[in-house]
């Protein structure tokens, strides 16, 4: 397996909510009225979010993000400490709008909550591993964007 492939974290909260939201949509069929321009904007958010996550994956290709041997502070990581999560979240919102799926949008707060919990857990691990280096990075770079 290519090293960069194993570096693509599966965003579990997003994927679970997508499964639940799409299933609920198929069963209950509850949609919202979304103007066509907003659906197109949603597609743009999907593309932009996936591009942002892909850029973060590319920049982090030389370290295994699940067990990093160094801090990454270039590319999107210079703008926010969690660009993959941001990218996945933007794509998730875009998909909810593009599909006019009310379930996906209703599940968004839950997705963001579980994502934030995962981020806080990862921050603790990074702080333990990298100590003052991580503290300096965290002090100079926002958590999300």
CATH code, domain carrying 124: 1.20.120.1630
- For residue range 28-82, what is the model confidence (pLDDT) as tens digits? 988 788 899 999 999 999 999 999 999 999 999 888 888 889 999 999 999 999 9
* Position 122 in a domain: yes
- Give CA–CA dist 6/72, Å, rounded: 17
- For residue range 73-123, what is the model confidence (pLDDT) as tens digits? 999 999 999 999 999 999 999 999 999 999 999 999 999 999 999 999 999
Q: Which domain holds residue 50?
A: 22-140
pLDDT at position 4, please? 59
pTM: 0.92
Cα–Cα–Cα angle for 43, 12, 52, rounded to 5 degrees: 40
Structure tokens at 111: 């997705």
* Position 126 in a domain: yes
* Position 96 in a domain: yes
pLDDT at position 31, please? 77
* Position 13 in a domain: no
Tell the burial category of 20 from Cβ atoms under 10 Å away from its Cβ (0-12, 13-18, 19+).
middle
- Give CA–CA dist 73/137, Å, rounded: 8
* Position 14 in a domain: no
Overall domain count for the chain:
1
């Amino acid at each position: 397996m290519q090293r960069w492939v194993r570096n693509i974290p599966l965003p579990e909260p997003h994927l679970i909510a997508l499964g639940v939201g799409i299933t609920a949509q198929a069963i209950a069929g509850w949609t919202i009225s979304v103007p066509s321009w907003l659906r197109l904007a949603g597609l743009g958010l999907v593309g932009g979010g996936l591009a942002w996550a892909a850029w973060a994956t590319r920049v982090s290709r030389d370290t295994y993000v699940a067990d990093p041997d160094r801090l990454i502070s270039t590319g999107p990581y210079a703008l926010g400490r969690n660009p993959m999560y941001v990218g996945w979240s933007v794509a998730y919102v875009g998909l909810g709008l593009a599909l006019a799926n009310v379930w996906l949008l209703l599940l968004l707060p839950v997705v963001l909550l579980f994502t934030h919990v995962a981020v806080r857990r990862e921050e603790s691990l990074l702080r333990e591993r990298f100590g003052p280096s991580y503290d300096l990075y965290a002090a100079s770079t926002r958590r999300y964007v």
